[in-house]
Structure 1
Amino acid sequence: MQTKGSSHRLSTMVYRSRIPTLLISMFATFASIYVAGRLWQDAENRVYLIKELDRITGQGQSAISVDDTLKIIACREQHKKLDALEMELAVARQEGFTSKRLTETNGTYSKRRPLVVIGILTRFGRQNNRDAIRKAWMGNGKNMSPISITFAGAALKKMEDNKGIIARFVIGRSANRGDNLDRDIDRENRQTNDFMILDNHVEANEELPKKAKLFFAHAADKWEAEFYAKVNDDVYVNIDALGATLAAHLDKPRLYLGCMKSGEVFSEPNHKWYEPEWWKFGDKKSYFRHASGEMYVISRALAKFISINRSILRSYAHDDVSAGSWFIGLDVKHVDEAKFCCSSWSTGAICAGV
């Protein structure tokens, strides 16, 4: 039989045992609220970061990872392309090769997207080459007299409107800024209006890879075209064959098209194709797969990729090898097209060395 004192002690023990239980329950409740709050904050942060990534990449100011860059670009492009692709391809085949893709401006659809922007990489002292190209295939494709070269702007505009093809000579500036070399180019450009002058690039043979990279970056920033082509200034281009070939590849959002090769890496300093970083290519000293430098084409997504990441894309001794290295490890469609092998001319060829 329990006494009054023992009953009091028992009730006190029960009361005291309830206090830790209550504290634990309160702690668990507060912890749950804290964790839920952090999860909600993390979710908000993720949404914010995604929006910031879209904003920054849309302005072309970020050196984000290559995979993220291509995923963002591809996603956006595919949403725009899928619905209209079959219709556009049918129209392209019927009308020849001019891309009829429409772009939206202030809520109205009016202006078609160019098919290709061609950058003809040229140098100082090569006006004869440029005049030969102007007469042979720039503009209306017909031979022009030396006097009519000064009115080539109208012919260029006609080629852009009728064929969807934009062509520009690409050149940098003299190491002695403002000298006779620069003045001659400025004078020629005032007459022909067919140059893309890279004001922040110094012309030098060893800087050709950087020059090609800057062409793609600036062209992608200025023109929203389907494709972008690099051409040497000693190459004849068959404009009709080029247009017809590119029209057949409109369904490839990440296209790298050209005369594909690998080839030996030369470690001898006196060799014409010497590669100072030859040791980076392994014991067999063979280049990775890349398009020959006389002429090659990339799609809009790859040109934008170069534009966004121009500050971190490295270069080797040659521009064609450098371009091939920029796409290593990416989800890129390499297309080996014999018509782009400019060393030989055949029926239906795209280009030929002159």
Structure 2
Amino acid sequence: MCKALVTGIHQNLSEMVHCFPMPSLLVCMFASFASIYVAGRLWQNTQDRIYLVKELDKLTGQGQSSLSVDDTLKIIACREQHKKLDALEMELATARKEGFVSNHVIETNGTYSKRKPLVVIGIFTKFGSQNNRDAIRKAWMGSGTALKKVEDRKGIIIRFVIGRSANGGGNRDIDRENRQYNDFIILDDHVEANEELPKKSKLFFAHAADKWDAYFYAKVNDDVYVNTRALGATLATHLDKPSVYIGCMKSGKVFSEQNHKWHEPEWWKFGDKKSYFRHASGEMYVISQALAKFISINKSILRTYVHADISAGAWFIGLDVKHIDEEKFCCSSGSAGALCAVV
């Protein structure tokens, strides 16, 4: 091959001599340099090919390989990517074991990077419940630097959720408490009332999804104790599921009697008029980011029913949602390994 290329170069140069007279010595020098250059390039490419094939043979242990250089490069690149994936899987396994977000779960946005929170927990509270809030701060939520450590180290953001008073009473107390602890989500457009709890749930998820780019969002009552370490470990096992609804699932009875405590005014909408569709208990449940974003986008048209947990379940009917019945979320059952408990 090299000989043929050199012969061709000599022929071209001979033709050029007939067109442009030049000293024969100069022509010979030029031809010699051209031959050396071409032969050198061919030798270098051959050496590169031999080197890459040998390296591949070392990796595969298959002896002589008939793969091309391009295929060899692709295989080497793929194996490097496998090594990186193996390292990431080991870090994720550690995160699942310890209930922490991996230090390398980082999203880049423009010129800066940030760690993505694992979950935003909204503790639903009301006016006159400061004793409950103080107990929660001492028991599992923390305050000040302790609360900040939970956010930074575990990726768990915890806030009390409350609206405004219809007559203005209690608003100043809440504002004062928030200035002291800085641990509230105050829904200024929401009026606190028992019958408005479904709307409160909707506004919380919409607000949290808009404010924090997290993997999950949780709703908890202010009389529930949460084991945040166990919660983090449990949620880490569901990071690969884009649309999940996790909780203590049930399909309770529909009560049509007006004098009943759990009366459902629209009882006639529920199939056999005897049981609700599948939904999570309102004491504590978690939804993934996709569902929280769905609520945020559609909050103005999502229907609410008399019960907050029923309303939340209704929002996901018709969506491609994975319902996960997690016994650990049954806070009032006292089941083994429970990550929450009513106090």
Is TM-score (shorter-chain normalized) higher than 0.5? yes
Map 1:102-251; keep pairs closer than 5 Å. Answer: 102-108=106-112, 110-139=113-142, 152-176=143-167, 179-251=168-240
In 1, Cα distance between equivalents of 2:150 and 2:329: 21
Q: Is the 8 A contact 1:89 1:247 kept in 2?
A: no
In 2, Cα distance between equivalents of 1:130 and 1:270: 32
% identity of equivalent residues: 75
Aligned-pair CA distance for 1:89: 4.9
In 2, Cα distance between equivalents of 1:157 and 1:225: 16
2:269 matched to 1:280? yes
In 1, Cα distance between equivalents of 2:275 and 2:89: 39
The residue number in structure 1 matching 2:340 is: 351
The residue number in structure 1 matching 2:91 is: 91
In 1, Cα distance between equivalents of 2:128 and 2:304: 25
SS at match of 1:180: coil
2:260 matched to 1:271? yes
In 1, Cα distance between equivalents of 2:206 and 2:87: 30
SS at match of 2:302: coil
Distance change in 2, residues 1:244/1:89 (3 Å): farther
Q: How many residues end up aligned between the 2 structures?
A: 256
Q: Is the 8 A contact 2:267 2:273 kept in 1?
A: no
Q: Is the 8 A contact 2:122 2:204 kept in 1?
A: yes
The code of the aligned residue for 1:93 comes to A
Q: Is the 8 A contact 1:121 1:230 kept in 2?
A: yes
Aligned-pair CA distance for 1:274: 1.3
The residue number in structure 2 matching 1:71 is: none
Aligned-pair CA distance for 1:353: 0.8
SS at match of 1:175: coil
In 2, Cα distance between equivalents of 1:195 and 1:115: 19
Q: Is the 8 A contact 2:101 2:153 kept in 1?
A: no
SS at match of 2:295: helix
The residue number in structure 2 matching 1:149 is: none
The residue number in structure 2 matching 1:23 is: none
Map 1:9-158; keep pairs closer than 5 Å. Answer: 88-95=88-95, 96-100=98-102, 101-108=105-112, 110-139=113-142, 152-158=143-149
In 1, Cα distance between equivalents of 2:87 and 2:161: 35
Q: Is the 8 A contact 1:279 1:285 kept in 2?
A: no
SS at match of 1:258: strand
Residues 137-187 of structure 1: CA distance to partner in whole angstroms, max 9, x if unpaired? 002xxxxxxxxxxxx2222111100111000000000112xx331011111
> Which deviates more from structure 2 when the two are superposed, residues 308-317 or residues 340-349?
340-349
Q: Is the 8 A contact 1:170 1:196 kept in 2?
A: yes
The residue number in structure 1 matching 2:292 is: 303
In 1, Cα distance between equivalents of 2:132 and 2:207: 23
The residue number in structure 1 matching 2:22 is: none
> Which deviates more from structure 2 when the two are superposed, residues 120-129 or residues 275-284?
275-284
Aligned-pair CA distance for 1:86: 7.4
Q: Is the 8 A contact 1:227 1:300 kept in 2?
A: yes
The residue number in structure 1 matching 2:44 is: none
The alignment's C-alpha RMSD in Å is 1.6
Aligned-pair CA distance for 1:98: 2.2
Structure 1 unmatched runs, 5+: 1-83, 140-151
Structure 2 unmatched runs, 5+: 1-83
In 1, Cα distance between equivalents of 2:335 and 2:189: 39
What's the TM-score once normalised by structure 2's chain length? 0.72
The residue number in structure 2 matching 1:34 is: none
In 2, Cα distance between equivalents of 1:323 and 1:89: 34
